[in-house]
Amino acid sequence: MKNKYQTIFLATGNPDKIAELKRLLEPLGCTLKSVLDVSVENEVEEDQPTLKGNALKKARFWYYKTGLPALADDTGLEVDALNGAPGVYSARYAGESVTYQVNVNKLLKEMKGKTNRAARFRTVVALAGNDEIIFEGVCEGEITEKPQGDGGFGYDPVFRPEGFEMTFAELSIDEKNRISHRGKALKKMVDYLRDGGESRDLR
């Protein structure tokens, strides 16, 4: 069946994330707009205790603001040696509105001397409109001793996915999207929408 969404609003103003989402959503063949395309200045406070809560809050906010089906995601890096931190606080691990590098520096400082470097990226994607659908993607891996690579964004330079010798920042965009947490979650959603799925919460 044909995807019923002609336009989807991307509930983010992060240019890096927008570029990645647009590439992942290309198979839907619909028009994509984002926070960068509107004059609304409101920012959604990510104050929910879970990734799902934050993703739904952002998606619902922008759906009500724009009238367009709104897609939002929230991603957390869960490090075993840090008891799952930074988790839901990944984007603001070292404080509000800090750079990617500042967050990475704090993570590496916290990981200094730790032998267990197992970690995973977890993404929850929510699409809010007349229906609400939710999907989750997980990518297992480990934290490297130092940053490697110039691609990607966020913690990509220090996250080596399971089965690979390179970090996310060293992989091509297409290779990263194929195995990443966000890529897995979005693929589930794209497949679901292209199949004309009904409204429900799926994992």
By annotation, the residues acting in catalysis are: 74
Residues 76, 90 contacting (CB under 8 angstroms): yes
Two structure tokens written together for 22: 């647009």
Which element (helix H / strand E) includes 108?
helix 100-111
Enumerate the β-bridge partners of residue 48.
Answer: none
d(CA 11, CA 71): 6
CB 69 within 8 A of CB 129: yes
Measure CA of the first residue to CA of the last residue in the chain; give whole Å.
Answer: 21
Closest CA to 54 of 66, 72, 71, 70: 72
- From CA 34, how far away is CA 21, in angstroms rounded? 10
As given in the structure block, the two tokens for residue 102 are 């500042």
Query: What does the buried/exposed string (b/e) look like for 138-151 if buried means 16 or more CB atoms within 10 Å of the residue's CB?
Result: ebebbbbeebbbee
> Using CA atoms, how far apart are residues 189 and 182, in angstroms rounded to an integer?
11
